[in-house]
Structure 1
Amino acid sequence: MQSTGAEPKRTQRYVDEAYRLVLEKPGVEEVLIMNRSGVPVKTTMGRQDALQNACLYDNLREKCQAFLQKMEPPQNLVMLRVRTKQHEVIITPDAKITILVVQNARDTYLGSLYDK
């Protein structure tokens, strides 16, 4: 039996459930779930794109973590959000898996104001 403060196990069922929940969100275009080593486990991307994005993410994570350690030494990266005019990438790492989500960055609220 697990104590109340323990992290849940990152089983295939856990990965499948996280994948399903992310895909249900509006505007999601791509999902990439990686294991602790940065290897794609489940994705909507092609194999080459998934491997390339996993590698690029790992470089970005290392740089962000180094930056955070210089700012406040006990801090860890919890979430990273990068937005361009066309896409928004949200990265959420934890001890066992990392979820990378690419979504449409079109702002429907502002778009509706300009359409009037």
Structure 2
Amino acid sequence: MANKTIREQREYIEECIRLIMQKKDVSDALVIDLNGYPMKSTMSDELTLRHIGLYGQVIDKARFMLTQLDPNDEITFMRIRSKNHEVIITPDDKCIFLVIQNPRSEDRL
């Protein structure tokens, strides 16, 4: 998304969310900019802000841990699974994608 216009970025994000939400057991998707602001969310405003706050801390701690182990390493993908949910986190240089899905399904991302 490096040299895209704002409109192209929005269209790209909309299309990504649309495709992700077509997956059978995906319940929600969220895109956050690097400053922690929501760019697009399928959740309520309250849940969006809650997820940003909580998962933002997890991402920051994971990045810190990786740089302590290897200063040249970076997070490309994280998966957090509980009994009720599985959260897939994919940070890149422009935004962070969070996908929440049912962990019991065989048809996962």
Q: TM-score, normalised by structure 1?
A: 0.81
C-alpha separation between the residues in 2 aligned to 1:103 and 1:46? 16
* Cα separation, 1, equivalents of 2:17 and 2:89: 13
Alignment partner, residue 65 of structure 2: 67
Distance 1:96 1:87 in 2: 26
Partner residue in 2 for 1:112: none
Q: Distance in 2 between matches of 1:20 and 1:57?
A: 22
Structure 1 unpaired stretches of 5+: 1-5, 110-116
In the TM superposition, what is the alpha-carbon distance from 1:41 to its structure 2 partner? 1.4
The answer on 1:97 being equivalent to 2:101 is no
Counting only pairs closer than 5 Å after superposition, residues 1-116 of structure 1 correspond to structure 2 as 7=2, 9=4, 11-108=9-106
Q: Spell out, residue by residue over 1:92-116, the C-alpha distance to the aligned partner (whole angstroms, 9 max, x if none).
A: 011111110110001449xxxxxxx
Stretches of structure 2 lacking an aligned partner (at least 5 in a row): none
Distance across 2 between alignment mates of 1:80 and 1:39:
20
Q: Secondary structure at the match of 1:51?
A: helix
Cα deviation for residue 68 of structure 1 reads 0.4
The secondary structure found in structure 2 opposite 1:101 is strand
Between the two structures, name the one with larger relative contact order (CA 8 Å, sep ≥ 6).
Answer: 2
Q: Retained in 1: the 8 A contact 2:30–2:38?
A: yes
Q: Which has the larger radius of gyration?
A: 1
TM-score normalised by structure 2 residue count: 0.86
Partner SS state of residue 54, structure 2: helix
Tell me how many residue pairs correspond in the alignment. 104
Task: Give the secondary-structure state (helix, strand or coil) at the position aligned to 2:14.
Answer: helix
What CA RMSD, in Å, does the superposition of the two structures yield over aligned residues?
1.8
